[in-house]
Amino acid sequence: MPTKTKTLLGGLSLIAFAAIALGVITHAAWLAQLDAAASTLATRAIDPMNTALFKVVATFGSPATVIGLTALLCLWCGSSKNRSSAYGLPVCSSAAPPLRKASSY
């Protein structure tokens, strides 16, 4: 993203933040209406399908799950005899080539 665009977006974000902060300080009616509209919109999005979806996302994104799956992947890669994926690409290969026995002359 160009620097000019970043500066413009940053400036607009700062102005929006300042306006909302000023609205909170002065207990502005427009901010209460905006809050009520956002709350209504968020309430309509709650249904069993969305709840189940976000439970799955939260479970797979939890630190315990990520650490556990990473450990299993490392164990699988370390003990696997066949280290290629279904497409023939290396999945768990090391960066160094395998060592060869030195031949004796």
Give dist(CA 53, CA 3) in Å, integer: 37
What's the pLDDT band for 80 if we cut at 50, 70, 90?
low
Q: What pLDDT, on a 0 to 100 scale, did the predictor assign at position 101?
A: 61
Q: What pLDDT, on a 0 to 100 scale, did the predictor assign at position 14?
A: 97
Alpha helices by DSSP H, the chain: 3-26, 29-44, 48-61, 63-79
Rounded to two decimals, the pTM is 0.44
Residue with more model confidence, 97 or 76 = 76
Give dist(CA 30, CA 38) in Å, integer: 12
Q: What angle do CA 78, 84, 88 make, to 5 degrees?
A: 165
**Which pair of structure tokens corresponds to residue 42?**
């968020």
pLDDT tens, 10-58?
A: 999 999 999 999 999 999 999 999 999 999 998 888 888 988 998 998 9
The string over 71-85, giving b where at least 16 C-beta atoms fall within 10 Å of a residue's C-beta and e elsewhere, is eeeeeeeeeeeeeee
